[in-house]
Amino acid sequence: MSDAELRNFFQRYIDALNSHEFQRMTEFIHDNPVMNGHPVTRDDVIAALEGHTDAVPDFTWRVEDLAIDGDRVAARLFNKGTPAKEWLGVPPTGATVEFAEYAFHKVRDGRFYEMNYLIDAQAVERQLT
């Protein structure tokens, strides 16, 4: 993919996440990707996303920065939502949380095959407690 195609691909992925259309992940994620160094299935990724949005129904991802280098995408995102159920081991308080996420993905055959995430866990914890 060209840089422009990869940028468009990543934005379509974010759009699908924000509309909570997780069944569309077949368009974006290989069947058996590696996530944070561990082999998983696409169904595992979908289940995790569904778990987040079940607990935080208004969860959104906002891209702040995006860098592309060949088959690699690096993004700084801000995630936002108001937990309606227990989330990350904390009962809901009515507080809306917003926190940074850093994503580093590799693309092969037009889909992510390696996905790495890092979130600002301290910011999440401060806002939830």
The pLDDT, as a whole number, for residue 105 is: 97
Instruction: Return d(Cα 33, Cα 37) in angstroms, integer.
Output: 10
Instruction: Return d(Cα 117, Cα 115) in angstroms, integer.
Output: 7
pTM for the whole thing?
0.92
3-state helix, strand, coil in the chain (%, to 5): 35, 40, 25
The pLDDT, as a whole number, for residue 45 is: 95
Assigned token pair, 57:
């129904």
Instruction: Return d(Cα 90, Cα 71) in angstroms, integer.
Output: 37
The pLDDT, as a whole number, for residue 88 is: 84
Lowest mean pLDDT among 1-5, 38-42, 75-79, 80-84: 1-5
- Per-residue pLDDT band for 8 (boundaries 50, 70, 90) equals very high
pLDDT in tens, 18-36: 999 999 999 999 999 999 9
Could you tell me the domains of the chain? 3-128 (3.10.450.50)
The pLDDT, as a whole number, for residue 36 is: 95
Using CA atoms, how far residue 10 sits from 70, 74, 125, in Å, is: 14, 10, 28
pLDDT in tens, 61-114: 999 999 999 999 999 999 999 999 998 888 899 999 999 999 999 999 999 999
Residue 96: which residues within 8 A CB-CB, separation 6 or more?
A: 80, 81, 82, 127
- Per-residue pLDDT band for 127 (boundaries 50, 70, 90) equals confident
